[in-house]
Every structure is written in structure tokens, then in C-alpha cells.
Amino acid sequence: MRSSSALLLVAAVSIASFAGPARGVAVGPVTELSGPGDFTTPTTVIDFEGVLLDGTAANTLYSGLGVTFSNCSPLPCASAPVPIEDWTDPPLSRVTSSPTNVIATTDDYHGGGSEFSNFLDLFFASGALEVGAWFGNDQGIQPLLQIQLSVYDASDALIGFVLVDENANTSVDQFAGLRSNSTPFYRARFEHVLAQGDLSVVLDDVRFSTPVPEPGSAALLGLGLGLLTVRRRRHA
């Protein structure tokens, strides 16, 4: 019997082969989020601003927010740098409020650097329910190019994914996002599909939401902390 992940992959091949590229293709128990306004829970946003661009890598820079980045495979893998890049020279059109920096899977977004891969992975320490980002690539001339955003559960099994058509420019001006309708995910992958050769994945304003504790769980946690405080006071 095929696993659910295998069935999802078969569905993906069928969609790509027969339906052609189309915005809004969602496979598995996920819902496409077409923009930041579609998020239903409080989100964490990383805009990559306020850091030096002399080789700064984003891999573990934001681990305090519960997310790390990687762009190497197979997993687990060595820590290939995922650099934060300047995108103001040459000027690129943008739709975000963070005008300077992006994250990109290349060591030179503006000309001829070595490219690592067509994908970028995000790892969530405590799981997430929603994820999305503004995206682009370093070549705006390829036809039928799509971005695929896939999410994986705690055992790294595929939950589902969405496909979004890419426009023919090099600007970071499109959004890809999804919500898991079944279970939290611990890895999300942004990946160019139907690409001819290597392309940089360029993201900005990455946002995600984490599971909110159930009211009963939160109450039990508060009760436990209260009892711990009382016990410490008695022993003081």
C-alpha cells in the first residue's frame, strides 16, 4: 500500500502533467494563503533587516524566534550558508515594507556567485500551523516556472503543498503561503519547480504562526507554575 506521502507526490505529477501550472493548486490537507491577511493566528515576521551584509548567514540567526534555515540535501546536512543579501542595487520593485534585505540561496544575488540549490528549508523548533513569504528568483525569463511550498510533520513525512505560478521578473513581489488543516508541521520547503537549471530562491518577510496551547493546557501550566512558586516560598 502506498503511503500518504507517495499518493501526494503522484497527485503532484498528475497536476503538473495534465492540468498545467495554475495558482491555487493545493494538495493534501492544506489551505493556500494568498497574502498576509489570510493568516488567522498571531504571526512572527522576519524581515532580515538590521544585519550586516558582510557574509551574514540566516541559518541560526533567528533561532531565538523558533526557526532556522537550510538549503542542502539530503537531511541532515552540513550547514551551508544561507546568506542575507542586499537587494537595493540594482533596484528591484518590491511590495514589502522592508526595503533592503532578503534571504537568498546564493552567495551573490546580484551577479554570478555560486548557486546552491533551487530550494530553501525552514525548520520550526515547536512546530507551526501557517507559513508564508514574499518570493522571487534570480532569472525572470523561464516559462512555466512555479514555486512549490511543502510542509512536513514531526517525522518529516509530507503533509501537503501548494503551487504558485511565478511571473516573468526578478522582483520579490509574489506571495506563497499555506495553512495545515490537520497537524503542525516542523519543516517547510520553498522550491522552484519546472526550473531549467539552478535558480536562487529569494524570500522576504517570512511569516509563520505556531500552535496556541489549548485553554486547559494553559491553565494547567499556570497552575503548575503557581504551585512551584508557593513551594519555593515555603522553603525560603
Domain boundaries, the chain: 4-235
How far is the C-alpha of 173 from the C-alpha of 132, rounded, in Å?
A: 13
Mean pLDDT of 76-95: 67
Percent with pLDDT over 90 in the chain? 37
Give residue 189's pLDDT band: very low, low, confident or very high (50, 70, 90).
very high
Chain centroid to CA 195: how far? Answer: 19
Q: Pick the residue with more confidence: 112 or 182?
A: 182
Task: Please provide the size of the chain in residues.
Answer: 236
* Model confidence at 140: pLDDT above 90: no
pLDDT the model gives residue 151: 98
Q: What is the pLDDT of residue 119?
A: 87
Dump pLDDT digits (tens) for 126-136: 999 999 999 98
Assign residue 48 a region (left: φ > 0; alpha: ψ between -120 and 50; beta: otherwise).
left
Task: Report the pLDDT averaged over residues 171-196.
Answer: 90
Q: Check residues 26 and 219 and name the one with the higher pLDDT.
A: 26
Q: What is the mean pLDDT of the chain?
A: 76
Beta bridge partners of 191: 119, 148
Longest dimension (CA), the chain: 72
* CA dist 225 → 91, 220, 232 (Å): 52, 9, 11
| Average confidence (pLDDT) over 190-214 | 82
CATH class of 4-235: mainly beta
pLDDT of residue 194: 72
Interatomic CA distance for residues 102 and 49, integer angstroms: 8
pLDDT of residue 79: 61
d(CA 84, CA 52) in angstroms, rounded, equals: 9
- Confidence tier at 202 by pLDDT (50, 70, 90): confident
At 236 the pLDDT is 54
In the numeric block, the cell 551573490 is attached to 108
Of 66-70, 94-98, 116-120, 232-236, minimum mean pLDDT range: 232-236
Comparing 29-43, 76-90, 209-223, the range with the smallest average pLDDT is 209-223
Q: Which helix (H) or strand (E) holds 4?
A: helix 4-14
pLDDT tens-digit map of 17-43: 334 434 568 999 999 999 999 999 899
Both ends of the chain: CA-CA distance in Å? 61
- Structural contact between residues 57 and 83, judged by C-beta atoms closer than 8 angstroms: yes
Q: Does residue 57 contact residue 106 with C-beta atoms inside 8 Å?
A: no
Residues 6+ apart with CB under 8 A from 69: 58, 59, 62, 82, 103, 120, 121, 122, 123
